[in-house]
Chain A
Amino acid sequence: GALVYQYPRRTICKSGTSMRMECQAVGFQATSVAWYRQSPQKTFELIALSTVNSAIKYEQNFTQEKFPISHPNLSFSSMTVLNAYLEDRGLYLCGAREGAYEQYFGPGTRLTVL
């Protein structure tokens, strides 16, 4: 079946440092990958959408300078949170989709910023 893995599952970083999270699709081709963040007391916000052979599109309030994303092949994507501060804490989800089929989510990376 289709599975999406994310690692690390939990991470703690000092304020002002950066951390990288990874997303791996197994059993299908992730032609489209979306990264979301759930901040405390909020729903899931879309950060950016990456589609193979297209430029990565960032949503308002999120930039490539702050959340650079790599989507080098149909099974892998990574995102880095640069200069993390308290407001960046939350659960980061990777959602991957093959064409028009269902979207599957990874278990998330929970980021704590000290």
Chain B
Amino acid sequence: SQQGEEDPQALSIQEGENATMNCSYKTSINNLQWYRQNSGRGLVHLILIRSNEREKHSGRLRVTLDTSKKSSSLLITASRAADTASYFCATEHDTSGSRLTFGEGTQLTVNP
């Protein structure tokens, strides 16, 4: 399976702290994307990083990609209670179809 794996499965932190989630995958990728899902809602795209990029920033989000280790990390700085959600990494493994393979997700809880 090409499915990515997120680590940890669950993370609980206090407001203001940083949250780091990791994603590993098995085969080479074209790009890796991170999504957020609030309870009972659809997935919202956060950030896309291409295979030739090593780091991207978007607001309080920082994503890194290490293709040699086949891994990525998502850092949320200065977390807020509103960041409470499930976070999924998804990988695109070929150039046809834009198909994404999702991991099982990390459940982040930010306590006020």
Are the chains A and B members of one assembly? no
